[in-house]
Chains A and B, each alone.
Chain A
Amino acid sequence: MSTQLTEPEQRTDESTTEQPAVEEGEESEGTTIPEWATESEESPGADDDESVRITVFRYDPEVEGKQEPHFDDFYVPWEQGMTVLDALMYARDQFDPSLTFRHSCRQAICGSDALFINGRQRLGCQTQIADLDTPVRIEPLPHREVEKDLVVDMQHFYEQMDAVDPYFRTEATEGGEEQRQSRENREKIKMSTRCIWCGACYSSCNIAAGDNEYLGPAAINMAYRFVMDEREEETIKQDRLEIIEQEHGVWRCQTQFSCTEVCPKDIPLTEHIQELKREAVKKNLKFW
């Protein structure tokens, strides 16, 4: 069932209701009107100068005719500062209420809307349409089972995250005293704490795609966050290193840098994985 949707009349009042909050970088490009938006589009359905075509992956196992994965085109009126998530929401609200995707905070913190946009894992809410080539191709995260449209099964990713105990553990909470951390140590783990569990890195990882047991960049980064945290005791650190130095732990990383490149929070994932590799080696080195 291929949908050829015509555009409704221009709704200028839309712009005031939706103020996409784009944080940290990437916002500068949004202020310039891109070339394709000012030129007149020749494609059918684009009767408006500033409409943008998005091509969205569709699949619905429960609806006859949508069980075969296909792509639907939507023509969405572009406005300054519009993100991919805004475009998707417009398409859902105006054209097809069955269009399904995850989103929540719209400001790159909840990690719900990691999508495969123009061949790269990005957050829908953080990606300016103006920065992309058109038509914008929106697909669910690769290497995940698709549940419906852009919704993928994240269960395995969460299991990998849980495997590294992604929470603070300490033996010294009896007295109830503060757990103090030095400024230097906080700086060291700063970037690793920014993970929003969106799964972009895991989806981009070629090794994780072929090896289901591999912990993946996000989980190893989470391990890094606690291994490097000086507030945890040495015994707990050793526990953590034992998890990540297993066969399908850090050693599966082959430094393709895919995860580092797609991470929407700019976490230097490969660097963290490499550092844990060195920690794992140091743990097992004995000079006697």
Chain B
Amino acid sequence: MSQSYDRGLIEDFGRWQEFSAGMWAWVLHKFTGWVLIGYLFTHIAVLSTAIPAATGDPAIYTGTLQSLEQLAIVRVLEVGLLSVAVFHILNGVRLLFVDLGVGLDTQDTSFYASLVLTGAIVVASVPTFISGAF
């Protein structure tokens, strides 16, 4: 055995067009998970700026949130947050069933179902989030 050639991560993200349903589910679940963690810290940061409200001035808290909600970009991001959270929840339920050994034969169908359901919920939520923003 003289020498060999390491083709590296030949099969990975360069071949995203060939990913199967299960792979996409995994990628999206990881991605949405990290987005939610990122949101969590942003959330804490924003709310902590309103902490003086606890000392007796609710106007600070209200003011902080109202000024944020006036920004169109925040409204759009909220829709994004909802879609990420909903997908993570639905796919999480799917993974729970996979862990319980239920519906492993239809795991791709359940992934597509969670995608479609996410889309439907997000579309339905758009009027609520966007109204008055633009």
Please list the residues of chain A having a beta carbon within 8 angstroms of any beta carbon in chain B. 59, 61-62, 69, 116, 119-120, 139-140, 142-143, 145-147, 153, 203-204, 206, 209, 254-258, 260-261, 268, 270-271, 274-275, 277-278
**Interface residue tally of chain B, by bracket?**
20 to 34
Most buried by A among B6, B11, B21, B108: B11
- Which residue in A142, A153, A261 is a CB contact (below 8 Å) of B11? A142
Residue contact B10 to A142, C-beta cutoff 8 Å: yes
Contacts of A62 in B (CB 8 A): 2-3
Contacts of B22 in A (CB 8 A): 255-258, 260-261
Most buried by A among B4, B15, B99, B105: B4
Contacts of B1 in A (CB 8 A): 147, 153
Per-position contact with A for B70-97: 1 when CB-CB < 8 Å, else 0? 0000000000000000000000000100
Per-position contact with A for B1-34: 1 when CB-CB < 8 Å, else 0? 1111111011110010010111101100000000
Contacts of A206 in B (CB 8 A): 11-12, 23, 26
- Is B101 in the interface zone, CB < 8 Å from A? yes
Residue contact A255 to B5, C-beta cutoff 8 Å: no
Contacts of B10 in A (CB 8 A): 139, 142-143
- Which residue in A119, A145, A209 is a CB contact (below 8 Å) of B5? A145
- Is B104 in the interface zone, CB < 8 Å from A? yes
Contacts of B23 in A (CB 8 A): 206, 256-258
- Which residue in A59, A120, A209, A255 is a CB contact (below 8 Å) of B26? A255
**Given the known A-B contacts A119-B15, A143-B10, A261-B22, are A274 and B104 also in contact in the complex, defined by CB atoms under 8 Å?**
yes
A271 and B103 alpha carbons, distance in the complex (Å)? 10
A16 and B20 alpha carbons, distance in the complex (Å)? 38
Interface residues of B in 94-131 (CB under 8 A from A): 95, 98-101, 104-105, 107-108
Which B residue's beta carbon lies closest to that of A271? B104
A106 and B11 alpha carbons, distance in the complex (Å)? 26
Residue contact A145 to B4, C-beta cutoff 8 Å: yes
- Which residue in B3, B15, B95 is a CB contact (below 8 Å) of A255? B95
**7 A-B pairs with least C-beta separation:** A257-B22, A61-B3, A145-B4, A142-B11, A146-B5, A119-B18, A256-B26
How near does chain B come to A212, taking the closest CB pair, in angstroms? 12
Residue contact A270 to B5, C-beta cutoff 8 Å: no
Residue contact B4 to A147, C-beta cutoff 8 Å: yes
Contacts of A209 in B (CB 8 A): 9, 11-12
Per-position contact with A for B32-76: 1 when CB-CB < 8 Å, else 0? 000000000000000000000000000000000000000000000
Contacts of B18 in A (CB 8 A): 119-120
Which B residue's beta carbon lies closest to that of A142? B11
A277 and B95 alpha carbons, distance in the complex (Å)? 13
Contacts of B101 in A (CB 8 A): 271, 274-275, 278
Q: Can you list 26 A-B pairs with a CB-CB distance of less than 8 A? A: A61-B2, A62-B2, A69-B5, A120-B18, A140-B7, A142-B7, A142-B10, A143-B11, A146-B4, A146-B7, A153-B1, A203-B11, A204-B11, A206-B12, A209-B11, A257-B23, A257-B107, A258-B22, A258-B23, A260-B22, A268-B105, A270-B104, A271-B101, A271-B104, A274-B98, A278-B101
A104 and B105 alpha carbons, distance in the complex (Å)? 32
Most buried by A among B1, B2, B3, B95: B3
How near does chain A come to B90, taking the closest CB pair, in angstroms? 15
Contacts of A255 in B (CB 8 A): 22, 26, 95, 98-99, 107
Residue contact A61 to B11, C-beta cutoff 8 Å: no
- Which residue in A116, A147, A261, A274 is a CB contact (below 8 Å) of B99? A274
Please give 4 more A-B residue pairs, beta carbons under 8 A apart, in addition to A258-B22, A274-B98, A278-B100.
Answer: A116-B11, A143-B9, A256-B20, A257-B23
Residue contact B4 to A61, C-beta cutoff 8 Å: yes
